[in-house]
Amino acid sequence: MKFLVVSDIHGSYYYAKKFKEIYEKENPDQIIILGDLYYHGPRNSLTEEYSPMKVAGILNDYKDKIEWIEIEEVGTKCIVRVNGFIVCKVLFMRGKF
C-alpha cells in the first residue's frame, strides 16, 4: 500500500498544487493529513500564494482518499489515532530528541 503524507501547507495554494502534482505522479492508495493546512500561524509570514479556500478546493477533490491523523498528549505519551482508531502510543520528552 502506498501513502502520501501531507503537512504544513499553511494555506499555500502553491504547495497545494505541488501536492496535486505529486499525487498524480505517485497515485497513492491513501493520503494522510497531519495538520496545519490553512492557517499560517501568528508568528509566520504569509505563505507563497496564500489562499486557504483554494487549498480547501484542491484537498476536497481527494476527500475519499484522505485519512485524518489526531495526536493527543497524555502525560509523557503521544497517542496517534487514524480516523478515531489508536494506531500507536509513543513515549516522548518535550524538546529533547
Does residue 92 surpass a pLDDT of 60?
no
Alpha-carbon span 27 to 2, nearest angstrom: 8
Q: What is the pLDDT of residue 6?
A: 82
Q: What is the pLDDT of residues 20-65, one digit of tens each?
A: 999 999 998 888 877 677 776 677 677 778 888 998 899 888 888 8
Alpha-carbon span 6 to 87, nearest angstrom: 18
Q: What is the pLDDT of residue 83?
A: 64
pTM (predicted TM-score): 0.65
Q: What is the pLDDT of residue 87?
A: 63
Does residue 88 surpass a pLDDT of 60?
yes
